[in-house]
Amino acid sequence: MSTEQPLFSPPQLDTEAERLFRALLHVDCEPGRTWNYEDCRRIAPLTLEINRLKKEKDAVILTHSYVEPEIIYGVGDFKGDSYFLSLQARESKAKVIVFAGVVFMGETAKILSPGATVVVPDRGSGCSLADSLTGDQLRTLKAAYPDAAVVCYINSTADVKAESDVCVTSGNVYDIVAALPQRRILFVPDRLMGENLRTELQRRGVDKEIITSDGTCIVHDVFDAAAVIEARARFPGLKVVAHPECTPAVAAAADFVGSTGAMMKYVKNTVAPYFLMLTECGLVGRLQVETPEKHFIGGCRLCPYMKLNSLEKIRDALAAPRPDQIITLDENLRRRAQRSIDRMFELTPAIKG
């Protein structure tokens, strides 16, 4: 007979399961991605253990809106888009930062909070954009366009950030590029965001030449403008909301294009009978939790990298991180990468304010 005491009492587990169930009750964006009370009872020991470990280790958990809602609402301290989470990483005083997102986000947190131990639950959580361009490839491109300002989207490796003049996110890309003194811009690694940037700058009457590399997001590059037109015919009054990683045709067919943070704000502030979210399903899950009165007609897609995060992996990364879960960066590279992100922070409030 085992002499081991259970970590949590049945009443603690009941209270936690009820808390989770109340939070996740309305999530229903993809078949099979729902949480009933039994599911919540099953995960309650894990969320209790993770929340206990957070205190013990002086840790904070940053969660991108695309990870599973049981992570965001079960154990997350901060939730949001790349810009917001980068700010949280920079301001964090915690000894340990767990980044439930993808590896480039963990790297960005380490660049901005070098004194913290930064861990990612799954080292395989890449990103088709970040993985599309190496620092060496960017050096070759830079040699071909020596007069260009080098602007990297935050979905890039630390090496690429270190080679860039300024980093941008989906929330500030248009304003930052418009404000740069150079006419010629080498924008990496998202070709489609670069095309959307070109269109937006033309619309604003800003004269820039945008040169891009050839990366795309495997989640956003497949949304189809013809399907948007069809959906509008089936759902009168539909509002279509897209991420700037979508194709220019999809962006043109949408009512609103913005970062995941801006998309959330748009839906919360817009009255419409239905919304079509052309982005990762995690964002729809968040909206179903936070605006349960709104209706979404489906169509979102799953990011296989974001979905590698799990409560079990977060627990293991907190309890005793394996070397592959810990982000390490050469200090010289980290400092160079930090310069491009600091430049983004300098330019963002000046423009927004």
CB 228, min distance to ligand SF4, A: 19
Q: Does 68 bind ligand SF4 (CB under 6 A)?
A: no
x-or-dash pattern for ligand SF4, window 171-210, by CB under 6 A? ----------------------------------------
* Residue 36, H or E segment: none
Dihedrals φ, ψ of 214, to 5°? Answer: -110, 25
The CA distances from residue 208 to 139, 149, 226, in Å, are 21, 11, 30
For residue 307, what are the contacts with CB-CB under 8 A and spacing of at least 6? 67, 68
Residue 305's binding partner among ligand 13P, ligand SF4, none (Cβ under 5 to 8 angstroms by kind) is ligand SF4
Please state, in angstroms and rounded to a whole number, the distance separating the CA atoms of residues 13 and 50: 13
x-or-dash pattern for ligand SF4, window 278-317, by CB under 6 A? --x----------------------x-xx-----------
Residue 260's binding partner among ligand SF4, ligand 13P, none (Cβ under 5 to 8 angstroms by kind) is ligand 13P
19-26, long-range: CB within 8 Å, 24+ apart, which pairs? 20/44, 20/47, 20/70, 20/73, 20/74, 23/69, 23/73, 23/74, 23/289, 24/69, 24/70, 24/73, 24/289, 25/292, 26/288, 26/289, 26/292
Output 73 or 83, the one with its CB closest to ligand 13P: 83
Q: Does 219 bind ligand SF4 (CB under 6 A)?
A: yes
Q: Does 102 bind ligand SF4 (CB under 6 A)?
A: yes
CB 10, min distance to ligand SF4, A: 39
CB 177, min distance to ligand 13P, A: 16
Residue 30 CB burial class (10 angstroms; 0-12, 13-18, ≥19): middle
Residue 218's binding partner among ligand 13P, ligand SF4, none (Cβ under 5 to 8 angstroms by kind) is ligand SF4
Q: Does 107 bind ligand SF4 (CB under 6 A)?
A: no
Residues within the interface to ligand 13P (CB under 6 A): 81-82, 155, 169-170, 217, 243, 245, 259-260
Residue 128's binding partner among ligand 13P, ligand SF4, none (Cβ under 5 to 8 angstroms by kind) is ligand SF4
Output 46 or 102, the one with its CB closest to ligand SF4: 102
Please state, in angstroms and rounded to a whole number, the distance separating the CA atoms of residues 227 and 250: 9
Report yes or no: 266 and 286 within 8 Å, Cβ to Cβ: no
Report yes or no: 97 and 89 within 8 Å, Cβ to Cβ: yes
Q: Looking up tokens 């995960």, which residue turns up? A: 43
Residue 138's binding partner among ligand SF4, ligand 13P, none (Cβ under 5 to 8 angstroms by kind) is none
Listed residue (250, 90, 80, 77) closest to 171, CA to CA: 80
Output 24 or 219, the one with its CB closest to ligand 13P: 219
Applying CB under 6 A, the site for ligand SF4 has a residue count of 13
Output 43 or 83, the one with its CB closest to ligand 13P: 83
For residue 141, what are the contacts with CB-CB under 8 A and spacing of at least 6? 186, 188, 211, 213
Output 45 or 121, the one with its CB closest to ligand SF4: 121
Report yes or no: 80 and 65 within 8 Å, Cβ to Cβ: yes
Q: Which residues bind ligand SF4 (CB under 6 A)?
A: 102, 127-129, 155, 217-219, 245, 280, 303, 305-306
